[in-house]
Amino acid sequence: MYLIKKLSLALALVALLAGKSQAVPITGQITLNGGAVISGGSATIGTFTTLTMQSSGIVAFGGGSGSYASITALTPVTFTTNALVVGAPGTTGAIGNASPFYTISVGGFSFDLTAIISNVYNAVSPATRTLNGTGMLHGTGFQDTVGTWQLSTSGTDTTLGFVSTTESVPDTGSTVTLLGMGLLGLAALRRKL
């Protein structure tokens, strides 16, 4: 009976030290395609300063990978219709008005754009404008994950690509603690038997 009490106490201690489980980060990528209205500057690919996505008719093409694998081609996507001030080529920094920038009902995924890290205009025909930045990915059952995004425009086409980035999280020592507690429990059990 004494041994059972000790083992119960040891198991309770291990459960307490193990802490609560954490949701996994979002991995993989998804590409979204849709239309947008550009304005500001002279409202051309090379000079626009504001981008307003069209909320309807925007769909994911090609499906997703990783955490987005359940999202198939032609899944509807809802974009914010807030005007995003992206600035002229070369402009970088924080973005306001973009939380969430998009929402996908499958998996409950959404993405908040937070910053532009590059804003490049290429005048070679066909002219293109490419913006890269960072943001926060959200998904039902997943932990919020820092992600990167790329938006490219060419003529009247606007294509958005979102790729999550995850970094390995160092172990805080709980694995070694659990291993040690298990070995101590086995040693104590061996002595009793």
Q: For the segment 100-142, what is each residue's pLDDT rounded down to a tens digit?
A: 887 776 678 888 888 999 999 998 878 888 889 898 999 989 9
Q: What are phi and psi of 137, to 5 degrees?
A: -90, 140
**Contact present, 87 and 116 (Cβ < 8 Å):** yes
pLDDT-derived band at 19 (thresholds 50, 70, 90) equals: very low
pLDDT-derived band at 11 (thresholds 50, 70, 90) equals: very low
Question: Which has the minimum average pLDDT: 48-52, 65-69, 124-128, 187-191?
Answer: 187-191
Mean pLDDT value across residues 59-64: 70
pLDDT-derived band at 37 (thresholds 50, 70, 90) equals: confident
Helix pair 174-192, 2-18: axis angle to 10 deg: 170
Residue 101, CB half-sphere, CA atoms under 13 Å: how many? 30
What pTM value is reported for the model? 0.69
Write the single-letter amino acid at 96: G
Greatest alpha-carbon span in the chain? 85
pLDDT, averaged across the chain: 74
pLDDT at 48: 87
